[in-house]
Amino acid sequence: MKKYLYFILPVIYIFLDQATKFLVTKNIPYGSFIKINDCLSIVNVSNTGTAFSMFQNNNLIFIFIISAIIVYLLFFIFKNRTELTNLQMHCLLLILSGGVGNLTDRIFRGAVVDFIDAGYKEVYRWPSFNVADSCVCIGVFLFIIFCLRKNND
Protein backbone atom coordinates (compact mmCIF):
# COMPACT_ATOMS: atom_id res chain seq x y z
CA MET A 1 0.00 0.00 0.00
CA LYS A 2 2.85 2.38 0.87
CA LYS A 3 4.27 2.10 -2.66
CA TYR A 4 0.93 3.13 -4.15
CA LEU A 5 0.56 5.99 -1.70
CA TYR A 6 3.89 7.42 -2.89
CA PHE A 7 2.45 7.48 -6.39
CA ILE A 8 -1.04 8.67 -5.47
CA LEU A 9 -0.02 11.61 -3.25
CA PRO A 10 1.88 13.52 -5.96
CA VAL A 11 -0.99 12.93 -8.39
CA ILE A 12 -3.41 14.41 -5.83
CA TYR A 13 -1.17 17.42 -5.14
CA ILE A 14 -0.62 18.13 -8.84
CA PHE A 15 -4.34 17.73 -9.56
CA LEU A 16 -5.26 20.16 -6.75
CA ASP A 17 -2.72 22.66 -8.04
CA GLN A 18 -3.89 22.49 -11.64
CA ALA A 19 -7.61 22.39 -10.74
CA THR A 20 -7.36 25.51 -8.56
CA LYS A 21 -5.41 27.35 -11.26
CA PHE A 22 -7.98 26.32 -13.86
CA LEU A 23 -10.84 27.56 -11.68
CA VAL A 24 -9.13 30.89 -11.05
CA THR A 25 -8.25 31.53 -14.70
CA LYS A 26 -11.76 30.63 -15.85
CA ASN A 27 -13.65 32.63 -13.21
CA ILE A 28 -11.53 35.66 -12.32
CA PRO A 29 -10.40 38.06 -15.06
CA TYR A 30 -6.63 38.46 -15.28
CA GLY A 31 -5.39 41.11 -12.86
CA SER A 32 -8.64 41.07 -10.86
CA PHE A 33 -9.28 39.78 -7.37
CA ILE A 34 -11.99 38.60 -5.01
CA LYS A 35 -11.53 39.89 -1.48
CA ILE A 36 -12.32 37.24 1.12
CA ASN A 37 -11.40 39.42 4.11
CA ASP A 38 -8.66 41.90 5.13
CA CYS A 39 -6.10 39.09 5.20
CA LEU A 40 -6.96 37.00 2.13
CA SER A 41 -7.88 37.58 -1.49
CA ILE A 42 -8.06 35.33 -4.52
CA VAL A 43 -6.29 36.97 -7.47
CA ASN A 44 -5.46 36.03 -11.03
CA VAL A 45 -1.86 36.94 -11.79
CA SER A 46 1.01 35.21 -13.54
CA ASN A 47 4.71 34.95 -12.92
CA THR A 48 7.47 34.17 -15.42
CA GLY A 49 10.16 34.43 -12.75
CA THR A 50 10.94 32.59 -9.55
CA ALA A 51 9.68 32.98 -6.00
CA PHE A 52 8.49 36.49 -5.14
CA SER A 53 8.44 37.29 -8.90
CA MET A 54 12.22 37.65 -9.08
CA PHE A 55 14.04 37.20 -12.41
CA GLN A 56 10.96 37.86 -14.57
CA ASN A 57 10.80 36.93 -18.27
CA ASN A 58 13.16 33.96 -18.01
CA ASN A 59 10.54 31.25 -18.46
CA LEU A 60 12.57 29.09 -20.85
CA ILE A 61 15.57 29.05 -18.54
CA PHE A 62 13.37 28.05 -15.61
CA ILE A 63 11.76 25.27 -17.67
CA PHE A 64 15.21 23.72 -18.08
CA ILE A 65 16.27 24.31 -14.46
CA ILE A 66 13.04 22.93 -12.98
CA SER A 67 13.11 19.95 -15.35
CA ALA A 68 16.67 19.13 -14.22
CA ILE A 69 15.65 19.40 -10.55
CA ILE A 70 12.64 17.14 -11.14
CA VAL A 71 14.79 14.51 -12.88
CA TYR A 72 17.35 14.70 -10.06
CA LEU A 73 14.62 14.35 -7.41
CA LEU A 74 13.11 11.34 -9.19
CA PHE A 75 16.53 9.71 -9.42
CA PHE A 76 17.32 10.52 -5.77
CA ILE A 77 13.96 9.20 -4.53
CA PHE A 78 14.25 6.00 -6.57
CA LYS A 79 17.86 5.39 -5.56
CA ASN A 80 17.26 6.06 -1.84
CA ARG A 81 13.69 4.78 -1.48
CA THR A 82 14.63 2.05 1.01
CA GLU A 83 16.69 4.39 3.23
CA LEU A 84 14.26 7.33 3.32
CA THR A 85 11.84 7.60 6.20
CA ASN A 86 8.14 8.16 5.50
CA LEU A 87 8.51 11.83 6.50
CA GLN A 88 11.54 12.34 4.25
CA MET A 89 9.76 10.65 1.36
CA HIS A 90 6.66 12.76 1.86
CA CYS A 91 8.74 15.95 1.97
CA LEU A 92 10.49 15.05 -1.29
CA LEU A 93 7.17 14.15 -2.92
CA LEU A 94 5.73 17.53 -1.90
CA ILE A 95 8.73 19.30 -3.47
CA LEU A 96 8.49 17.14 -6.58
CA SER A 97 4.73 17.75 -6.91
CA GLY A 98 5.14 21.50 -6.60
CA GLY A 99 7.87 21.50 -9.21
CA VAL A 100 5.75 19.48 -11.64
CA GLY A 101 2.72 21.72 -11.04
CA ASN A 102 4.60 24.92 -11.80
CA LEU A 103 6.53 23.32 -14.68
CA THR A 104 3.19 22.36 -16.23
CA ASP A 105 2.14 26.02 -16.11
CA ARG A 106 5.40 27.22 -17.61
CA ILE A 107 5.15 24.77 -20.51
CA PHE A 108 1.43 25.07 -21.31
CA ARG A 109 0.62 28.62 -20.15
CA GLY A 110 3.95 30.39 -20.61
CA ALA A 111 3.91 31.51 -16.97
CA VAL A 112 2.98 30.25 -13.50
CA VAL A 113 -0.52 31.17 -12.32
CA ASP A 114 -0.53 32.61 -8.79
CA PHE A 115 -3.81 33.23 -7.01
CA ILE A 116 -3.48 33.28 -3.22
CA ASP A 117 -2.91 36.79 -1.90
CA ALA A 118 -2.35 36.92 1.86
CA GLY A 119 -1.34 39.67 4.23
CA TYR A 120 -2.62 42.24 6.65
CA LYS A 121 -4.99 44.79 5.11
CA GLU A 122 -2.94 46.96 2.75
CA VAL A 123 -0.11 47.41 5.25
CA TYR A 124 1.69 44.21 4.31
CA ARG A 125 0.95 41.77 1.49
CA TRP A 126 2.87 38.58 0.89
CA PRO A 127 3.66 37.92 -2.80
CA SER A 128 0.91 35.91 -4.49
CA PHE A 129 1.41 32.16 -4.59
CA ASN A 130 -0.35 28.90 -5.47
CA VAL A 131 -0.78 25.30 -4.30
CA ALA A 132 2.44 24.15 -6.00
CA ASP A 133 4.42 26.89 -4.25
CA SER A 134 2.89 25.78 -0.96
CA CYS A 135 3.88 22.16 -1.62
CA VAL A 136 7.50 23.16 -2.31
CA CYS A 137 7.74 25.44 0.74
CA ILE A 138 6.12 22.95 3.13
CA GLY A 139 8.26 20.10 1.77
CA VAL A 140 11.52 22.07 2.07
CA PHE A 141 10.61 23.42 5.53
CA LEU A 142 9.74 19.99 6.94
CA PHE A 143 12.79 18.39 5.34
CA ILE A 144 15.09 21.00 6.92
CA ILE A 145 13.40 20.57 10.31
CA PHE A 146 13.80 16.80 10.02
CA CYS A 147 17.49 17.13 9.13
CA LEU A 148 18.14 19.57 11.99
CA ARG A 149 16.41 17.28 14.48
CA LYS A 150 18.31 14.27 13.17
CA ASN A 151 21.65 16.11 13.55
CA ASN A 152 20.79 17.05 17.15
CA ASP A 153 20.09 13.43 18.12
Catalytic residue of the set 17, 105, 117, 133? 133
In contact, 112 and 25? CB cutoff 8 Å: no
Residue 153 appears among annotated catalytic residues: no
Q: What CA–CA distance (Å, rounded) separates 81 from 105?
A: 28
**Contacts of 46 by beta carbon, 8 Å cutoff, 6+ apart:** 30, 109, 110, 111, 112, 113, 114
Which of the following is catalytic: 17, 114, 117, 153?
114
Task: Look at residue 27 and give its three-state secondary structure.
Answer: helix
What count of Cα atoms within 13 Å lies in the side-chain half-sphere of residue 86? 5
SS3 state at 58: coil
105 an active-site residue? Answer: no
Q: Where in the sequence numbering do the catalytic residues fall?
A: 114, 133
